[in-house]
Amino acid sequence: MMAREEQRLRRSPFLVPDPELRDYLQGIACRVSGPHCPDVRVYAVRNAYFNASMAPNGMMQVWSGLLLRVDNEAQLAAVMSHEAGHYLKRHSLERLRDAKNRSALGVLLAPFGAAGLVGQLVLAATMMQYSRDQEREADAISVQLMGAAGYDTSQATLVWSNLLAEINARPNADAVKDSVLFATHPPSEERRDTLTRLGKPGGETGAERYRQTLAALQLQLLEDELKRGQYEETFALLDRKIGTEPERADYRYARGEARRLRNQPKDLDEALTDLTAATQAGQPPPQAWRSLGLLQRTRGDKAAAATSFARYLELAPNAPDASLIKSYVSELQT
């Protein structure tokens, strides 16, 4: 059954068509799984939500929302090691065997083969989640696998802490109610304390290697994040990223665009600050000029908007929205 699901996944339009990323992820999987490397196959899936999963036949998915959120290779290895822990202890096989009927089995298979159907993932996790003891066991194994692979195991707790901070950024947030990941795992404080106790600093983080591998995809990941429309979570994510890399034009663009799109009190002023900073930084994405122009147009600053739009068209003359932006320029000049 899982072989058929894997064939579906290989044909999915949600797969990220990047051989370099595929090989990079496969290399991490082999590094943490050791002698089980030949049994593991990793697929990068374009989905802006945080998730990774591993089927009982060795098929692992890593979603692009996870790639955006981790800060280095060690943090990514922590998540992949956790999924490998489930695989090594046959937890997902137990879940399949526990599926009592065909409809339940179909829901359970959705995260493996459907590649991107978030609602089905949530339903599957709710119906047939790992037990909390299984999650604890996978956490302990993940730290062992990371350490054996030479990674800084103290990075494992940061993944969970950062994700919790995003969930808690929502108004009236309740991590257990708002996130299946938190509802089906040990209490967040317990998990944080356990991973902190087990993790030991001193290994490799692979931060620069991770950044170089993701560089070509970073803007797409940010654009997909903006489309989620979960602005409080996005602000928490980008505030953290900008705090560690304030010179990154793409992060400043994304935060400015998120504020422009949300358009609540004071958002446009803060968007103007971020978008201006993005366009003045080194190698700004062309979209930063477009967003700045749209903001200036909204505010009635015609001359500035026309200038920003012209710069966008200069940098991205074949952009899908080039005709629309040209019409805005003509409008502003009348």
pLDDT in tens, 58-117: 999 999 999 999 999 999 999 999 999 888 888 677 776 765 554 555 555 555 554 444
Environment class of 98 (CB within 10 Å of its CB; exposed 0-12, middle 13-18, buried 19+)? exposed
Same domain, 153 and 224: no
Cβ atoms 156, 150 nearer than 8 A: no
Same domain, 129 and 265: no
SS3 per residue for 161-172: HHHHHHHHCCCC
Final residue in a domain of this structure, among 158, 175, 198: 198
Range of the domain at 99: 2-198
Same domain, 179 and 41: yes
Same domain, 18 and 90: yes
Same domain, 289 and 328: yes
* Gyration radius (Cα) of the chain, Å: 22
Q: For residue 30, what are its two tokens?
A: 């082999």
Same domain, 121 and 144: yes
Same domain, 176 and 74: yes
Strongest mean pLDDT among 136-145, 160-169, 237-246: 237-246
pTM, two decimal places: 0.86
Distance from C-alpha of 221 to C-alpha of 227, rounded to nearest angstrom = 10
Same domain, 244 and 316: yes
Same domain, 212 and 131: no
Same domain, 143 and 277: no
Same domain, 190 and 266: no
Considering only 92-96, 205-209, 251-255, 272-276, which range has the smallest mean pLDDT? 92-96
Final residue in a domain of this structure, among 150, 181, 198: 198
Final residue in a domain of this structure, among 168, 198, 228: 198
Residue 220: phi and psi, rounded to 5, are -60, -40
Note the pLDDT of residue 115.
Answer: 43
Specify the number of domains making up the chain: 2
Same domain, 129 and 168: yes
Note the pLDDT of residue 177.
Answer: 54
What CATH number is given to the structural domain containing 242?
A: 1.25.40.10
Q: What is the pLDDT of residues 210-223, one digit of tens each?
A: 999 999 999 999 99
Note the pLDDT of residue 235.
Answer: 98
Q: What single string gives the DSSP state of each residue in 156-213?
A: HHHHHHHHHHHHHTSTT--HHHH-HHHHSSS-HHHHHHHHHHH--TTSB--HHHHHHH
